[in-house]
Structure 1
Amino acid sequence: MKYSIDKKEQYVIFTPMEEKLDSTLAPKLKSELLTVHAEGYEKLVLDMSHVKYVDSSGLSALLVGDREYGNNGGLFLISGVQDHVLKLLKISMLDKKLNLVNDLEEAGEAVFMHEIENGAVEEDEEEED
């Protein structure tokens, strides 16, 4: 599986350079997502701008990422979803479950807002103690 990883200060952008996210590539994607998480990154943006086709294995990989990064206040965003893939996400109602953003700029803003919201929560908890 070809991909690029751009590690920012607050999050990672993971970009599969593949047109199909199917049963041959989905296990590798799951593995890479888990590896990045194990490296200590809790916020990941999956840039799907190159992906034109996803099957059930690919959807499963997206759910693994969402579950893994969603634990302990992390964040898993999916950016740049192509029309065909978006239709499949809507049919399967995963567009309601997954955090979809239009582009990487919107993803960066969402990470920033997530940081503010979680920072505010942590400060409130500290004040109560």
Structure 2
Amino acid sequence: MEFLETCHDTVKIVTVPESRIDAAAAIRFKDAMRAATAEGPDHVVLDLSNVAFVDSSGLGAIVAAMKQMGEGRRLDLAGLTPDVAKVFRLTRMDSVFVIHDRADGALSRATG
């Protein structure tokens, strides 16, 4: 899985180009996130605006990506489609992550 990455002064936006983060994609997602967040700003925004479906494996992969970033670093989410947002609400993961309507909104808020 390849991401589109955009670095700004204090924020990196990582855009997932695929429509699903499910059991078939979870390991590739985690590996790609590890590579994308290994260097760069401590604040990363994961843009999920292209993702229409996340299952429990995908949700676990997103949580694992947050944990692998380590102490003092932050992973926000942006652009959740209605079905993906529902998964985050139902699992109460919306209380774990900061969720922005759009990635550019997260950027403007961070650089304020």
* Band of TM-score, shorter chain: 0.7 to 0.9
The one-letter amino acid of 2:100's match is V
- The TM-score, its normalising length taken from structure 1, stands at 0.77
In proportion to residue count, which structure has more helix?
Answer: 1
- The residue correspondences of 1:1-129 to structure 2 (distance < 5 A) are 1-69=1-69, 71-112=70-111
Q: Distance in 2 between matches of 1:34 and 1:68?
A: 7
> SS where residue 109 of structure 1 aligns?
helix
The one-letter amino acid of 1:58's match is G
How big is the shift at 1:49? 0.4
For CA contacts below 8 A with separation 6 or more, give which structure has more relative contact order: 2
Instruction: Give me the identity figure in percent.
Output: 25
Gaps of 5+ in 1: 114-129
Task: Name the Cα RMSD after superposition.
Answer: 1.7
Larger Rg: 1
Deviates more, 1:30-39 or 1:42-51: 30-39
Q: Distance in 1 between matches of 2:63 and 2:44?
A: 13
